[in-house]
A and B are shown apart, each in its own frame.
Chain A
Amino acid sequence: MSRTLAQKVWDSHVVRKADGEPDLLYIDLHLLHEVTSPQAFDGLRIAGRKVRRPDLTIATEDHNTPTDNLLTISDPVSRTQIETLRRNCEEFGIRLHPLGDPEQGVVHVMGPQRGLTQPGMTIVCGDSHTSTHGAFGALAFGIGTSEVEHVLATQTLPQNTPKQMAVTVTGELPPGITAKDLILALITQVGTGGGRGHVVEYRGPAIEKLSMEGRMTVSNMSIEWGAKAGLIAPDDTTYAWLEGRTFAPKGRDWEAALDAWRALPSDPDAVFDSEVTLDAGTLSPFVTWGTNPGQGAPLSASVPDPESFQSEAERAAARRALEYMDLRPGVPLREVAVDVVFVGSCTNGRLEDLRLAADVLRGRKVADGVRMMIVPGSAAVRAQAESEGLHEVFTAAGAEWRFAGCSMCLGMNPDTLKPGQRSASTSNRNFEGRQGKGGRTHLVSPAVAAATAVVGRLAAPADL
């Protein structure tokens, strides 16, 4: 029987199947960070359980860590959480990349860059953006703390069979239009609940042409439209990216792995429960105006009139969003002035993203009154960027060049918006207060972020 990529990965990880019960799936890689793991380790201790496979488990520090230094976590509550992770990893024998380690970074940047993320794997983490790893053809999804404990204890998870959806992106992205514009436009098209209950596969010529960084940006935001996971079939782009990385197979193992990976793509006649199509050729720089990632529009548009939406729920949500965002219907998005620009996160904190921002900033200055923060996704990305001299471009433009971490993507560390401040952010969520209480977020691509920093209002590089 023909199967999709996701079904093949699923089938090869079923430990136990029984009528009326979820399948028990084996987990190949479990990623941990400080926020969603402490209660899981406590649960193990209370029950007298061990970590079944510390050799399939790896931890990093990212959500709470400061990005202005590598030594001092000044908030005592954050420090306790970090210290708790260190103690737990020590006690249970789990490898940890702590603050200051050359491999430390945002968990979804760290895994792929080390070669830990490979096609055909099952990968989980107590973090919804685990979908990022789907870019390699892995079945990767976020879990809650009870499930973290379950995986620590058993290296498995009971899972109900998801439905299968294809997202086919036809045509070609116009010059300067990025993976971020693509995924933001898709989410506005399908809505925040559009992928609920589904594992999706992104496919089509526009997806195949994306770099691995671009594919990770797309897969990363799968959760923002409700999908359980977002996979992309592995191909030569994937293999070229992986080969030679620390944890990638070597020598004869590499050849064996390639043979297995080449059998993973969906069969030509595989059946999906539903399909969404998007024409990449129609896309332009895309930004959000509201307080969920589905409230977006092309940069060339104006703030929409809430009364223009079809359902009362959408109208009510738009009214509330505009009030929170302090925006009036009909105002061109290009006239919206920002206070802060943030380039970073597991969505857009990779080397390619930093290069895109640097290309725009080279020889230009951040506008007066605008604070621009560039936060590499990992210590390794930071080192690579510095070896290319990108940090000099950023600092010459007046941007802050910082250490790796989740930073301003979420308000858990010192990098936050002040109440009423407005940001253009390359992160993934524009929820109320996400970047700090009372903060207002516009989601954008790295190129739009950089152009916005220069102009002081939402802008694309073509506006410069």
Chain B
Amino acid sequence: MEKFTAHVGTAVPLRRSNVDTDQIIPAVYLKRVTRTGFEDGLFAAWREDPDFVLNNPAYAGATILVAGPEFGTGSSREHAVWALCDYGFRVVISPRYGDIFRGNSLKQGLLTVELPVEAVEELWDLVESRPTTTVEVDLEALEVRADGRVWGFTLDSFSRWRLLEGLDDIGLTLRHEDRISAFETQRPAWGVVVS
């Protein structure tokens, strides 16, 4: 995983709640066996509407998505995170996320920032009135800054550390392989074995 310390970019206002992962990337795009190249699937159905915000040239090149509550609910498809990243997003800001999506995003280096509804509405107003507004997302300071305003956010210290250092989870776990082996000797003898 790439390190994430801070990011500066422009933002897209997605004024919708309950943006489930089926909307972020419809199932038909999940048939691929690769891990990249999912940008065409991002919001595929909604992007057919010329008025959809991602089709507005004023937001071309934006790297921060500001969305309503319950973003990323539903299916566990990590393809939703890959599609956002492949399209060019580095940060999502929303009041609340689906838990599985949030976990997936933090493992892929897509920073999902939780800000209160009021802050999200302020950001929406700001980037709608001036799409070129620069938004800074600072993981070290745990702050979002735009137009002279500052919003603090929280992230559990372990996820933050992994993002700041760009660490691979499997590598971290395998440092404790002796503990895994020790645990395996104590599992009940009647436990399920498939083969």
Contact = CB atoms under 8 A, between A and B. Distances in A.
Contact of A434 (B16, B22, B195): B22
B34 interface: yes
Contact of B170 (A81, A150, A247, A410): A150
A42 B78 CA distance: 15
A251 to B, nearest CB: 10
A464 B107 CA distance: 52
A145 B22 contact: no
Contact of B191 (A28, A142, A147, A411): A28
B192 A121 contact: yes
A22 B34 CA distance: 29
B30 interface: yes
A228 B76 CA distance: 11
Interface in A381-413: 410-412
Interface string B98-133: 111001100110000000010000000000000000
Contacts of A55: 193-195
Nearest to A321: B18
A431 B72 CA distance: 12
A160 B170 contact: no
A15 B190 contact: no
Given A81-B33, A292-B73, A197 B99 contact: yes
Interface string A416-429: 00000000000001
Contacts of B187: 26, 28
Q: Is the interface of B mostly helix, strand, loop or mixed?
A: loop
Contacts of B81: 144
Interface in B178-195: 179-180, 183-184, 187-195
Interface in B66-92: 68-70, 73-79, 81
- Most A CB contacts (10 A, CB to CB) among B17, B23, B189 go to B17
A36 interface: yes
Contacts of B194: 29, 54-58, 95, 116, 247
Given A95-B195, A128-B100, A313-B17, A433 B169 contact: no
B31 interface: yes
Contacts of A147: 103-104, 107
Contacts of A58: 194
A49 B170 contact: yes
Contacts of B184: 26, 155
Interface string A36-66: 1011001000010100101111100001100
> What interface size band does chain A fall in?
35 or more
A431 B20 contact: yes
B170 A128 contact: no
B31 A56 contact: no
Interface residues of B, number: 60
Interface string A84-115: 10000000010100000000000000000000
Contacts of B150: none
B149 interface: no
Interface in A24-40: 24, 26, 28-29, 35-36, 38-39
Contacts of A28: 187, 191-192
Nearest to B22: A431
A16 interface: yes
B100 A144 contact: yes
Contact of B18 (A21, A39, A260, A292): A292
Given A54-B195, A64-B31, A150-B173, 16 more contacts: A24-B176, A26-B183, A28-B187, A116-B194, A146-B107, A154-B177, A155-B184, A158-B172, A160-B156, A160-B158, A192-B73, A196-B98, A316-B15, A317-B17, A411-B26, A412-B30
